[in-house]
């Protein structure tokens, strides 16, 4: 899934002309007890945990981009 959203939409204070592209491997929608929830999957080919911190940061940005592009509360998203 490819998303394109202005950086200003996800981080207040940025120039609205700056863009951001995210390519997500999969997003699943589930019905939870508190309403709809979404799980973001981003597969990695690394066989090492050396970049785990970087990957977690990337997932956090994907979560924010997806929430902003769909107008859904960011807390409804989980990343794995």
pLDDT tens, residue by residue, 27-40? 888 887 778 888 88
Query: What confidence score (pLDDT) does residue 12 get?
Result: 58
Other CB atoms within 10 A of residue 3 CB:
16
> Exposed, middle or buried by CB within 10 Å (0-12, 13-18, 19+), for 32?
exposed
Per-residue pLDDT, averaged over 30-58, amounts to: 85
Query: Could you tell me the residue range of the domain that residue 58 belongs to?
Result: 2-79
Per-residue pLDDT, averaged over 54-78, amounts to: 82
Count of domains for the chain: 1
Q: Is 12 helix (H, G, I), strand (E, B) or coil?
A: coil
Eight-state DSSP code of residue 63: H
């Amino acid at each position: 899934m490819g998303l394109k959203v202005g950086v200003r939409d996800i981080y207040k204070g940025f120039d609205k002309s700056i863009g951001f592209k995210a390519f997500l491997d999969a997003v699943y929608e589930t019905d939870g007890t508190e309403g709809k929830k979404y799980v973001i999957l981003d597969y990695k080919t690394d066989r090492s945990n050396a970049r785990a911190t970087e990957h977690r940061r990337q997932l956090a940005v994907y979560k924010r981009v997806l929430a902003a592009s769909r107008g859904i509360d960011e807390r409804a998203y989980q990343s794995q």
